[in-house]
Amino acid sequence: MTATISDTLLDWYDAHARALPWRNAPGAPPPNDDAWPYRVWLSEVMLQQTTVAAVKPYFEKFTRIWPTVFDLAGASDEDVMAAWAGLGYYSRARNLVKCARVVAQMGGFPETEAELLKLPGLGAYTAAAIASIAFGQRAVVVDANVERVVSRLFNIEEPLPGSRKAIREKTDTITPEVRAGDFAQSMMDIGSQICTSKAPRCLLCPLSDVCEGRAAGEPERLPVKPAKKAKPERRGTAFWIEREERVWLVKRPGTGMLGGMRSLPDDGWSARSNGCDAAPLEGEMTSLGAVRHTFTHAHLTLELVRIDGAAVPSGEGEWWPLSEIEAAGLPTLFAKAARLALA
Task: Enumerate the active-site residues.
Answer: 44
Tell me how many helices (H) and strands (E) the chain has: 13, 7
Task: Determine the angle formed by the axes of helices 124-135 and 35-47, rounding to 10 degrees.
Answer: 150
Question: What three-state secondary structure class fits 306?
Answer: strand
Q: Does residue 229 contact residue 222 with C-beta atoms inside 8 Å?
A: no
Phi, psi for 300 (deg, rounded to 5): -125, 130
Give the span between the Cα atoms of 44 and 52, in whole angstroms: 10
Exposure of 326 in the CB half-sphere (CA atoms within 13 A): 1
Which amino acid is residue 94, in one-letter code? R
In 3D space, the residue among 113, 120, 118 whose CA is nearest the CA of residue 135 turns out to be 113
The number of residues making up the chain comes to 343
Dump the DSSP string for 73-108. HTS-HHHHHHHHTTS--THHHHHHHHHHHHHHHHTS
Integer angstrom CA distances of residue 71 from 51, 56, 312? 25, 20, 37
Give the span between the Cα atoms of 122 and 110, in whole angstroms: 12
Give the span between the Cα atoms of 44 and 55, in whole angstroms: 10
Dump the DSSP string for 13-40. HHHH----TT-PPTTPPPPS-THHHHHH
